[in-house]
């Protein structure tokens, strides 16, 4: 008989925690999971999945706007935010049920309450019960970072935006990352007046500057207003429910809603990490080694709580590698090189590998191949928006260092192109590949 209640206790039922629990159980471990909110975590419940569905809803609004060019006459068209919101949230409920079934089918015990660390092999549940485990995995994710200014309590984060009672006629989005840019695009397409406030003059810092500049040009052409080098001094709520936002100048902006999207921080507050000597960095992220082990030998961590790469597929890989290493007798690490990523703006942008700036800094002499084109689909659109693809190549070896793009369906195209970058292929491999015509993807094998 084991000296512990469980072989593994997982704190957090997000993408990384659920994958770790499922795989560990398949290796024969007795597993329990504690989740204080809803099974599925940030991605499924309040992140990429419902947000992408809102993107689809807002894209339809754009298509509807020039339906006559497709030959359709649509009379009496109108938009109902609550109907879209409820459809999205109902699908979130469906996905949560699937995640719960996955845990049940692998005989994983689920505690629907918060858990904290009570010792190297002990967790304490919110109900007061203490549970022991041979290994503990922390996978509680991250939480929106809210700035400190008077009136911040009147603002919302990306957690609450999926549950708004009404679509704001006038929305301010604070931040310059992918969350801010995506929600700005969503509500702009749905008819809201959108202003983006950013404390610097750069947005989407990790993406190729030329691609980001194209996105900014298109976003401004669609009516999104950008206020760079700005930050909120205070927010006041008026008697009619609107918000007056003071940006430090003489003219406060009047909006219906302020969405704070200035990043997410590891959710380590109150976890009791000090009770087991689990070390954190200066940002509050849990420090781990290449096998996801913390400074406490019996405690591991994966996903956003470690603040390595805050992406769902990364958390899933880390959770799987942990389970194989600890319970599958197959030590595995995660390769963080050449991770593809995308921003579901309208149009979306995507990239993998080094940006042009980073490639020049690391390799010195590089070649840049590009294509600037108007996608055929955009011929129906009264806005003359152009796509842009670029490939950065090491001049000496012709090895592809990065691929970056903006245009319709860029994330779908980039995922396949990422395989080529990961495999270390050269530009010649693309040149030798026959084009698939007519398609946007063919631009990748025709780059000059």
Residues annotated as binding site?
52, 175-182, 263, 304
| Sign, CA torsion 324/326/329/331 | positive
Instruction: List residues forming the annotated binding site for NAD(+).
Output: 175-182, 263
Long-range contacts of the stretch 165-170 (C-beta < 8 A, 24+):
165/82, 166/81, 166/82, 166/256, 167/79, 167/81, 167/191, 167/192, 168/192, 168/255, 168/256, 168/257, 169/193, 169/256, 170/195, 170/254, 170/255, 170/256, 170/257
Percent helix / strand / coil, the chain, rounded to 5: 35, 25, 40
DSSP 381-411: SSS---EEEEEEEETTT-BEEEEEEESTTHH
DSSP 65: H
Selecting among 27, 217, 404, 437, the annotated active-site residue is 437
C-alpha distance from residue 384 to each of 40, 56, 188, 381 (Å)? 40, 21, 18, 7
Spatial distance between the Cα atoms of 409 and 441, rounded to a whole number of angstroms:
9
Is 437 among the catalytic positions? yes
Q: Name the residues annotated as catalytic.
A: 437
């Amino acid at each position: 008989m084991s000296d512990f209640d469980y072989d593994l206790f997982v704190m957090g039922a997000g993408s990384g925690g659920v994958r770790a629990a499922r795989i560990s159980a398949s290796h024969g471990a007795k597993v329990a999971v504690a989740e204080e909110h809803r099974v599925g975590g940030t991605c499924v419940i309040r992140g990429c999945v419902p947000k992408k569905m809102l993107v689809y809803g807002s894209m339809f609004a754009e298509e509807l706007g020039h339906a006559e060019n497709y030959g359709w006459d649509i009379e009496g068209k109108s938009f109902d935010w609550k109907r879209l919101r409820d459809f999205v949230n109902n699908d979130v409920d469906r996905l949560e049920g699937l995640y719960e079934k996955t845990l049940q089918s692998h005989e994983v015990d689920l505690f629907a309450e918060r858990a904290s660390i009570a010792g190297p092999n002990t967790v304490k549940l919110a109900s007061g019960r203490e549970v022991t485990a041979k290994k503990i995995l922390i996978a509680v994710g991250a939480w929106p970072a809210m700035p400190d200014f008077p009136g911040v309590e009147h603002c919302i984060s990306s957690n609450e935006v999926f549950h708004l009672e009404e679509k704001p006629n006038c929305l301010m989005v604070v931040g310059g990352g992918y969350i801010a840019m995506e929600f700005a695009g969503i509500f702009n397409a749905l008819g809201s007046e959108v202003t983006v406030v950013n404390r610097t003059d750069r947005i989407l810092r990790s993406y190729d500057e030329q691609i980001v500049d194209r996105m900014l040009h298109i976003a401004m052409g669609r009516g999104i207003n950008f206020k760079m080098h700005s930050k909120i001094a205070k927010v006041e709520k008026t008697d009619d429910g609107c918000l007056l936002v003071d940006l430090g100048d003489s003219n406060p902006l009047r909006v219906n809603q302020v969405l704070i999207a200035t990043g997410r921080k590891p959710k380590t507050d109150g976890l009791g990490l000090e009770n087991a000597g689990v070390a954190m960095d200066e940002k509050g992220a849990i420090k781990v080694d290449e096998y996801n082990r913390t400074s406490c030998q019996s405690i591991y961590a994966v996903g956003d709580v470690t603040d390595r790469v805050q992406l769902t597929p990364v958390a899933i890989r880390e959770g799987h590698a942990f389970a194989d290493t600890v319970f599958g007798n197959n030590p595995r690490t995660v390769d963080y090189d050449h991770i593809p990523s995308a921003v579901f703006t309208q149009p979306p942008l995507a990239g993998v590998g080094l940006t042009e700036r980073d490639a020049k800094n690391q390799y010195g002499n590089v070649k840049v191949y590009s294509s600037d084109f108007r996608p055929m689909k955009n011929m129906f659109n009264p806005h003359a928006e152009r796509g842009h693809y670029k490939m950065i190549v090491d001049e000496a070896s012709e090895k592809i260092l990065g691929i970056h793009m903006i245009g319709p369906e860029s994330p779908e195209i980039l995922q396949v192109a990422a395989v080529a970058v990961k495999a270390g292929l050269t530009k010649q491999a693309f040149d030798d590949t026959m084009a698939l015509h007519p398609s946007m993807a063919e631009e990748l094998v025709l780059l000059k």
